[in-house]
Amino acid sequence: MSAPLLSVENLRIELATRGGMVPVVDDLSLWLNPGETLSIVGESGSGKSMTALAVMGLLPRIGRVAAGRIMFEGQDMTQMEDAALRRIRGNQIGMIFQEPMTSLNPVYTVGEQIAEVLRHHQNQGAAQAWANAVDLLDAVRIPNAKGRAGTYPHEMSGGQRQRVMIAMALACRPKILIADEPTTALDVTVQAEIFDLMRELAKETKTATILITHDMGVVAEMADRVVVMLKGEKVEDGTVTDLINRPQHDYTKSLIASVPHLTPETRDESEVAAQVDQPLLSVRDLTVQFPVKKRWGKREMFTAVNGISFDVERGKTLAIVGESGSGKTTAALAVARLVAAQAGHVTLDRTDMLTLEGEALRQARANVQVIFQDPYSSLNPRLRAGAIVREPMDNLGNLPAAQRDARVAELFEQVGLEPAQMHLFPHQFSGGQRQRISIARALSTNPSLIICDEAVSALDVIIQAQILDLLKDLQRDLDLTYLFISHDLGVVQQMCDDVAVMYMGDIVEYGTRNAVFASPQQDYTRNLLAAVPSVESVIEHPAP
């Protein structure tokens, strides 16, 4: 048997803290053979990304490899000088990072950034490097590659930026490609396209791949072998088929259980119809437009939401689903009067929100609150968690001042936090805990409607499941109504009663969850359902 292309042997990575050196990866061993895909799976903080950074020689300054070896083609990379590492990094080992917008330089065109890799590692001249950059953009299916090479990262969609990152990582035809959560922030349909592209390019170039993810559905569709990490240690490894069909560790079992299954549940539609009353939220002919600057000084209006209508029953959840740019978030923000609507009616608890102004609007907003996608950016980093939750009550005066601190403590307990944590800052919480703070803040004004705008899409699947369970418990206990914005049909299946599918500003399909999932009428809806990662392809079914 030939030697592996890469082997990690008894690796220990430590980070410097005020209390001394703390291990974040401990006694990790794994190997990667030429042409295969190895997936490293685990939740945030498990050490999977830190392992990838160690392989690339990109550990943060406070980090070090304290023990073990990283062997690449017989050379120990932990003992290499920086110059030798730079010759390997980007040239023989490429990496696709999780968030392309922060990885790409905003002041250079995408063509210039790809060409720079070729000039630096392949010693290509400017003209040759530019021509090859255009060819690479074409290879990753960027339309009009020659023209798009001259655009800047902010002028591209998220999926296109990730394709640029893939082009950069593969520019020198590396022997190993490390993909660190390459599709976490992307719509499921774009995610499916990116994975198809990675599979095809890896097959063409014979590149071995390390895929870092927390999603076992992605693993089932992409990987040959799997390493499962928890709290810096490897808890299980094996082939994809063996691991999914015969998991040994409880953590692996929980990861597999968290993969969404899109089988519609049995539901008595006649009973649902009999329960229909005056909806809490009624939206009619809602239109939202934004001015777009055109050449020659002329301005036109871009229609983001095109006269849509829907209802949300009290105590129920309506999901608005669709790809980025479909208009789902814009529609939700218009309901909350956070963006201006040009036409239509938004009736919340018999009040037309679009007609309110001044103090009347300010008071009405207490009845509708928003939980945003990224709690780290939506929470004020300079305020303590208790002050963040208390702030809406201070602004709206919906509770006497003397009672507000007690209410904050009650809300912390309600969302599964300790009242003692009220004095901590957002950065001192985990991602899941920060989202619990966001939920507590949304509950502080006793709203009847909560808008969840991709509220769990940035979370690991296990934490995501916990937050979804919390939202369902709160809905049952407090009779809450949710408008749930998502591109993830698996999450929608778990959370929602009814579904509206949006595409390019229009609602193209609308009905009960079971009707939409069991018998979608539109090709677009069928494509969304088909793109959800699943373990079904590797499940072993007993012979009849």
**Tens of pLDDT along 507-518?**
999 999 999 998
More confident residue, 135 or 217: 135
Q: What is the CA radius of gyration of the chain?
A: 25
Tell me what pLDDT residue 266 has.
47
What is the pLDDT confidence band of residue 397, given thresholds at 50, 70 and 90? Answer: confident
Residue 459 DSSP SS3: coil
Long-range contacts of 510-518 (CB under 8 A, 24+ apart): 510/310, 512/267, 512/269, 512/272, 513/264, 513/267, 513/319, 514/264, 514/265, 514/267, 514/269, 515/269, 517/262, 517/264, 517/489, 517/493, 518/264
Residue 231 in contact with residue 208, Cβ under 8 Å?
no
pTM comes to 0.76
Range name among 142-146, 159-163, 423-427, 501-505 with the lowest pLDDT average? 159-163
Residue 265 reports pLDDT greater than 80: no
Going by C-beta distance under 8 Å and a sequence separation of 6 or more, which residues neighbour residue 8? Answer: 28, 29, 30, 31, 51, 55, 68, 69, 70, 71
What is the pLDDT confidence band of residue 363, given thresholds at 50, 70 and 90? Answer: confident
Structure tokens at 356: 């309110």
Residue 313 in contact with residue 478, Cβ under 8 Å?
no
Average pLDDT value for residue range 363-372: 90
Average pLDDT value for residue range 388-414: 90
Tell me what pLDDT residue 226 has.
96
Tell me what pLDDT residue 431 has.
79
Tell me what pLDDT residue 273 has.
43
Return the top range by mean pLDDT from 104-108, 282-286, 288-292. 282-286
Residue 61 reports pLDDT greater than 60: yes
Residue 486 reports pLDDT greater than 90: no
Rounded to whole angstroms, the Cα distance separating 376 from 231 reads 22
Looking at residue 165, the DSSP 8-state letter turns out to be H
Average pLDDT value for residue range 104-117: 93
Rounded to whole angstroms, the Cα distance separating 540 from 209 reads 25
Tell me what pLDDT residue 197 has.
79
Of 537, 533, 526, 460, which Cα lies nearest the Cα of 490? 533
Summary mean pLDDT of the chain: 87
Distances in whole angstroms, Cα of residue 8 to Cα of each of 76, 174, 344, 430, 434: 10, 18, 60, 28, 34
Residue with tokens 């550990």: 59
Tell me what pLDDT residue 272 has.
44
Rounded to whole angstroms, the Cα distance separating 220 from 472 reads 29
Structure tokens at 161: 């930026």
What percent of the chain stands above pLDDT 90? 52
Distances in whole angstroms, Cα of residue 76 to Cα of each of 11, 88, 223: 12, 12, 26
What is the pLDDT confidence band of residue 454, given thresholds at 50, 70 and 90? Answer: confident
Of 92, 277, 279, which Cα lies nearest the Cα of 173? 92
What percent of the chain stands above pLDDT 70? 94
Rounded to whole angstroms, the Cα distance separating 193 from 141 reads 10
Of 490, 489, 491, which Cα lies nearest the Cα of 501? 489
What is the pLDDT confidence band of residue 346, given thresholds at 50, 70 and 90? Answer: very high
Rounded to whole angstroms, the Cα distance separating 73 from 79 reads 14
Cβ-count burial 418-450 (b if 16+ within 10 Å, e if not) = eeebbebebeebebbbbbbbbbbbbbbbebbbb
Q: Is 452 left (phi over 0), alpha (psi -120 to 50) or beta?
A: beta
Residue 63 reports pLDDT greater than 60: yes
Burial of 271 (0-12, 13-18, 19+ CB in 10 A): exposed
What is the pLDDT confidence band of residue 270, given thresholds at 50, 70 and 90? Answer: very low
What is the pLDDT confidence band of residue 271, given thresholds at 50, 70 and 90? Answer: very low
What is the pLDDT confidence band of residue 305, given thresholds at 50, 70 and 90? Answer: very high
- The pair phi, psi for residue 57, each rounded to 5°, is 70, 35
Of 325, 277, 322, 286, which Cα lies nearest the Cα of 307? 286
Tell me what pLDDT residue 260 has.
67
H or E stretch at 103: helix 100-103
Residue 267 reports pLDDT greater than 50: no
More confident residue, 197 or 124: 124
Long-range contacts of 394-397 (CB under 8 A, 24+ apart): 396/362, 396/363, 396/365, 396/366, 396/445
Average pLDDT value for residue range 496-517: 93
Residue 229 reports pLDDT greater than 80: yes
Residue 262 reports pLDDT greater than 70: no
What is the pLDDT confidence band of residue 384, given thresholds at 50, 70 and 90? Answer: very high
